[in-house]
């Protein structure tokens, strides 16, 4: 006997944060244009690296927005979960873009170490300050949604890196202005690349966990098993599966062995309601599927999983 406690929650994941992403996209693109012009006029590699990083952020936000629209398309017989995983694939593309940007910055920085470019620090400084202010505004916009969506979290982390990158450019400009140490620009560009890579790796790792249907972070299978076993009438539980479809959409399924007397319609309803309430309240998992099995039938079951 199977039962599915499923509910409709409206917009999930990135979809309900579209306005935040659109605002950040507009701000980011405007600053990218200003920083590219500033980098060309000033000759600053660090400023160009920061502009490239912000351009990758803009591309990532655009991909996230596109994916959030695709993800809201209804499910079908061919895609029973709809297109919700599109958001996860977008996050993966975002991470890969970050890695490519970081590698390009490192290659160009290494090439520049043998040169002594003349950097116009006044243009470099003002463009970096503008970028820092814009990044701070974007962080405040995204802060409210970064815990609910993998893509919003990715955008938040990228903007945070942009803010640190802009600060590095500001420091480099001040160093060059006060000491004449031109290599500070190249060093700052390398620092930006170093800041990009760990965040890209973290995001990529989270995406891989979702695609491999790993147990969501913070969920302990043994604790869930104990809660299920505490429900009156439950004898055993096996074949537990917990995974994530997309941000904010965890899914749970399990085979529940119950006392033979509880297999009646009334008894089964009681157990299913208690199980659904238990999983929903304790583990924030409302998409639950339970297969009830009488204890007398358990010996015929092949337990393949936890």
Please tell me the predicted confidence (pLDDT) of residue 91.
79
Fold for the domain defined by 221-300: Alpha-Beta Plaits (3.30.70)
Please tell me the predicted confidence (pLDDT) of residue 170.
92
Chain mean pLDDT for the chain:
79
Bridge partners for 293 per DSSP: 257
Q: C-alpha 25: how far from its chain's center?
A: 17
Q: What is the DSSP string of 154-181?
A: HHHHHHHHHHHHHHHHHHHHHHHHHH--
Determine the Cα angle at 218 with ends 216 and 224, to 5°.
85
Q: Tell the burial category of 156 from Cβ atoms under 10 Å away from its Cβ (0-12, 13-18, 19+).
A: buried
Please tell me the predicted confidence (pLDDT) of residue 6.
43
Please tell me the predicted confidence (pLDDT) of residue 11.
45
Instruction: Report the length, in residues, of the chain.
Output: 306
Please tell me the predicted confidence (pLDDT) of residue 97.
81
Nearest CA to 306 out of 238, 247, 252, 258 is that of 238
Please tell me the predicted confidence (pLDDT) of residue 299.
59
Please check whether residue 68 is in contact with residue 87, taking contact to mean a CB–CB distance below 8 angstroms.
yes
pTM (two decimals): 0.68
Q: Which two tokens stand for residue 257?
A: 């062995």
SS3 of 113, please?
coil
Helical (H) or strand (E) element with 293: strand 287-294
Q: CB count, 10 Å around CB of 103?
A: 13
Please tell me the predicted confidence (pLDDT) of residue 79.
76
All structural domains of the chain with their residue ranges: 8-211, 221-300
* pLDDT tens, position by position, 230-271: 888 888 888 888 888 876 678 888 888 888 877 777 778 888
Gap between the Cα atoms of 95 and 206, Å rounded: 10
CATH entry 1.20.1510.10 includes domain 8-211: yes
Determine the Cα angle at 194 with ends 192 and 198, to 5°.
120
C-alpha gyration radius of the chain: 25
Please tell me the predicted confidence (pLDDT) of residue 4.
47
Gap between the Cα atoms of 127 and 121, Å rounded: 10
Q: Report the number of secondary-structure helices (H) and strands (E) in the chain.
A: 8, 4
Q: Which two tokens stand for residue 256?
A: 């529940």
Gap between the Cα atoms of 23 and 134, Å rounded: 11
**pLDDT by residue, tens only, the chain of 306 residues:** 444 444 444 444 555 667 878 888 899 899 899 989 988 888 888 888 888 878 877 877 777 677 667 767 777 777 777 777 777 887 788 788 888 888 888 888 888 776 666 788 888 899 999 989 998 998 888 876 666 666 677 778 778 878 888 888 999 999 988 988 888 888 888 888 887 788 788 888 888 888 888 888 877 888 888 888 888 888 888 888 888 887 667 888 888 888 887 777 777 888 888 887 777 766 667 678 888 888 776 655 555 555
Q: Annotate 46-78 with b (16+ C-beta within 10 A) or e (fewer).
A: bbbbbbbbbbbbbbbbbbbbebbebbbeeeeee
CA dist list (Å): 251 to 81, 133, 213, 222: 11, 40, 10, 16
């Amino acid at each position: 006997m199977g039962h599915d406690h499923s509910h409709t929650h409206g917009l999930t994941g990135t979809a309900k944060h579209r306005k935040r992403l659109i605002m950040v996209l507009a701000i980011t693109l405007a600053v990218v244009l200003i920083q590219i012009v500033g980098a060309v006029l000033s000759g600053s590699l660090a400023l160009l690296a920061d502009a490239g990083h912000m351009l990758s952020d803009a591309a990532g936000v655009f991909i996230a927005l596109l994916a959030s629209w695709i993800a809201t398309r209804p499910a079908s017989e061919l895609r029973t979960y709809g297109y919700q995983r599109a958001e996860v694939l977008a996050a993966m593309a975002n991470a890969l873009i970050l890695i490519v940007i970081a590698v390009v910055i490192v290659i160009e920085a290494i090439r520049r170490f043998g040169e002594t470019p003349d950097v116009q620090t006044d243009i470099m400084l003002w463009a970096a300050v503008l970028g820092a202010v814009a990044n701070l505004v974007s962080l405040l916009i995204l802060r409210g949604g970064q815990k609910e969506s993998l893509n919003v979290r990715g955008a938040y982390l990228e903007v945070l890196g942009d803010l640190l990158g802009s600060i590095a450019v500001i420091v480099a400009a001040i160093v060059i202005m006060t000491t004449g140490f031109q290599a500070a620009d190249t060093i700052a560009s390398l620092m930006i690349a170093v800041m990009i890579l760990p965040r890209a790796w973290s995001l990529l790792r989270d995406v891989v966990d979702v695609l491999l249907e790993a147990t969501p972070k913070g969920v302990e299978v043994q604790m869930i098993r104990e809660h299920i076993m505490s429900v009156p009438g439950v004898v055993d539980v096996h074949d537990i599966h917990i995974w994530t479809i997309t941000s904010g959409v965890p899914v749970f399924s399990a085979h529940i062995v119950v006392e033979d007397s509880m297999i009646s319609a009334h008894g089964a309803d009681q157990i299913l309601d208690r199980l659904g309430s238990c999983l929903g309240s304790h583990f924030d998992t409302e998409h639950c599927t339970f297969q009830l099995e009488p204890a007398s039938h358990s010996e015929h079951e092949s337990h393949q999983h936890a």
